[in-house]
Amino acid sequence: STLYDQLHSVITSTASHQHQQWLTPLQEDFLVEWILKEDARACPPSHAHAREMAN
């Protein structure tokens, strides 16, 4: 974002579309951490498994 946006409290596109997202930011962070941990164990989840975890 720009300094102008920050000074004038302009809502970011991410924030303005939050209601359209499938996951909350907290759920998304959890899912990302889980995927990264599984990948670090040399066992990255399949797309289907990640999608299952997200539901």
Q: Per residue in 15-45, pLDDT tens? A: 777 787 788 889 999 999 999 999 999 999 9
What would the two tokens of residue 33 be? 């951490």
User: Any alpha helices (H) in 1-55, and if so which ranges?
Assistant: 3-7, 13-16, 25-40, 47-54
Higher-confidence residue of 47 and 14: namely 47
What one-character DSSP code corresponds to residue 23? S
Q: Is the pLDDT of residue 50 over 80?
A: yes
Q: How far apart are CA 34 and CA 27, in angstroms?
A: 11
Count of C-beta atoms within a 10 Å radius of residue 45:
16
Look at residues 22, 13, 17 and name the one whose alpha carbon lies nearest to residue 50.
22
